[in-house]
Structure 1
């Protein structure tokens, strides 16, 4: 059974004759008659009662006509869905994500919904190595990654930059927003306060997670320290942000130290700890994709990122 046979069947039923159906379809009458005959032989029923004066639907034809129309409608929907998928207006985007800052991800998803409301987005949060491996294997269409500068077999497209922050004891000279005393316990620098330079922290032990926990971020920080010409002593390792800031506050008197972090869910206030924005480096988030022309869902994502 062919779609065109069902189309010819419906056209004859609509127009009441083979000749008129042929005119509507823009083909010769014999082609319409031939294809309807073939359909009748395949189905094993007579679809039309034919006479020299009239062509009417048979009882079998009346019963089968709604089914034929449903098949034709489904075929039209299938073509439309395929066209929407090809254009990126519909389909599935599989995106690997990072933890926070959530507002960027939410804005990106909102832009995608506005541009392609029928495009479904499936988010997956995986460790960095698994995230990149999933893009290489085709399990993910793309993945957001932080601080990475290389990813073998993949292309990294920078999409946004975020500042890094230093947390240090409130009574350290660098904690003062304008060179005076600390402005308040657990305070963030007021708007307009100059960012800290890394050399201002050279005398304080640095709490930094071991490289194997997050190689790109570790390399970003240590590379920036080398570029600034400073090599602060190592303090206790960074664990979680809350634990590290709490330890920093508790040990500020006998073992002062500092740490560096990026914002995930807001800058946490901790008594006796000052948080200051760093002048450098910045944290770059990139989109990891396979080399070559992007598929339709990925094209929509790139357009949303540009917007």
Structure 2
């Protein structure tokens, strides 16, 4: 059974004859008659009583007509949705965001939002290394990663944005009096840094910059847990230490802690995408990020 046959069947039923149905469809009458007879043979039904002046539906034809219309309407909806998917006005974007998600990501989601609900964004919150793996496996359409990211085979990294880095030191330490801090000045203080498995790109970026500034491997302090817990530990510990972070929801205001900007390269956030021509959903994401560049 073909959609064409159902369409011809409905046209004959609505126009009351094969000739008028053929005229409405813009084809010859014999084509309509042939396809309707084929439909009848395939279904094992007699759909019309064919008269000299009028063609009318049989009881079987009357019963089949609503279902035929439903099938044709569903086919038309499918064609419309396929066109919208191909054009990017509808669809699903599977996106791996950075933690936070941060104001930039929120603004991006607003720009991607569709009042009709035809285009949706599904966020997958997983560690950076897992984001890149899921992207390589085709389970994500795009993913954000921060810091010294290494693209796996088949993945390209596009620069999305940059964030300044900040240092948090004890308020009583002499470095707290400086308006801006350098990594060279901080190199003698133990650093409370997120462990590498939790965020390899950020860990590698900071340790690489710090070791380069110190000319040797800089000392690491106690383990970083969460930012509030780490700031509390820095403020109360008898031995001075520090931590480094990027702004997510505003700079912290914590008793006994002074936050200063770091005079070092900013932290880059990358948009990881599959190599090759972008999908319609990915084209829509890229259009919402005009500053994104290779």
Alignment TM-score, normalising by the size of structure 2: 0.89
Q: Is the 8 A contact 2:234 2:242 kept in 1?
A: yes
Aligned residue-pair number? 289
Q: Which runs of 5+ in 2 are unaligned?
A: none
Please point out which of 198, 204, 218 is paired with 2:203.
218
Residue 101 of structure 1: CA displacement? 4.1
- Residue 109 of structure 2: aligned partner: 109
Match of 2:62 in 1: 62
Alpha-carbon distance in structure 2 between the residues aligned to 1:89 and 1:40: 40
Question: 1:247 and 2:214 equivalent?
Answer: no
Which residue of 1 is the match for residue 256 of structure 2?
Answer: 272
Q: Secondary structure of 2:45's match?
A: coil
1:144-184, Cα deviation, whole Å (9 max, x unpaired): 111133222121112111111100111334323xx5xxxxx
Deviations 1:184-205 (A, max 9, x none): xxxxxxxxxx543333434433
The alpha-carbon deviation at position 284 of structure 1 amounts to: 1.2
1:259 aligned residue: 243
TM-score, normalised on structure 1? 0.86
Q: Within 2, Cα distance between the matches of 1:203 and 1:121?
A: 45
Aligned-residue CA RMSD (Å): 2.2
Task: Please name the residue that 1:161 is paired with.
Answer: 162
Alpha-carbon distance in 2 for matches of 1:230, 1:271 = 33
- How has the CA–CA distance of structure 1 residues 248 and 139 changed in structure 2, closer, same or farther, with 3 Å as cutoff? same
Looking at structure 1, the residues matched to 127 and 196 of structure 2 have their Cα atoms a distance apart, in angstroms, of: 14
Instruction: Give deviations 1:92-147, integer Å, cap 9, x for gaps.
Output: 22111221143222211111114884122221111222221111111111211111
The farther-off stretch of 220-229 and 155-164 is 220-229
Question: Which residue in the other structure is 2:281 paired with?
Answer: 297
The aligned runs of 1:115-264 (5 Å cut-off) are 117-153=117-153, 154-176=155-177, 195-228=180-213, 232-251=218-237, 254-264=238-248
- SS of corresponding position for 2:20: helix
Q: Does 1:281 align with 2:275?
A: no
* Post-superposition offset of 1:222: 2.5
Q: 1:47 to 1:261 in 2, by over 3 A?
A: same
Q: Structure 1: where are the runs of 5+ without partners?
A: 180-193
- Is the contact made by 1:100 and 1:263 (CA closer than 8 Å) also made in structure 2? no
TM-superposed deviation, 1:210: 4.2
Deviation, structure 1 residue 9: 1.0
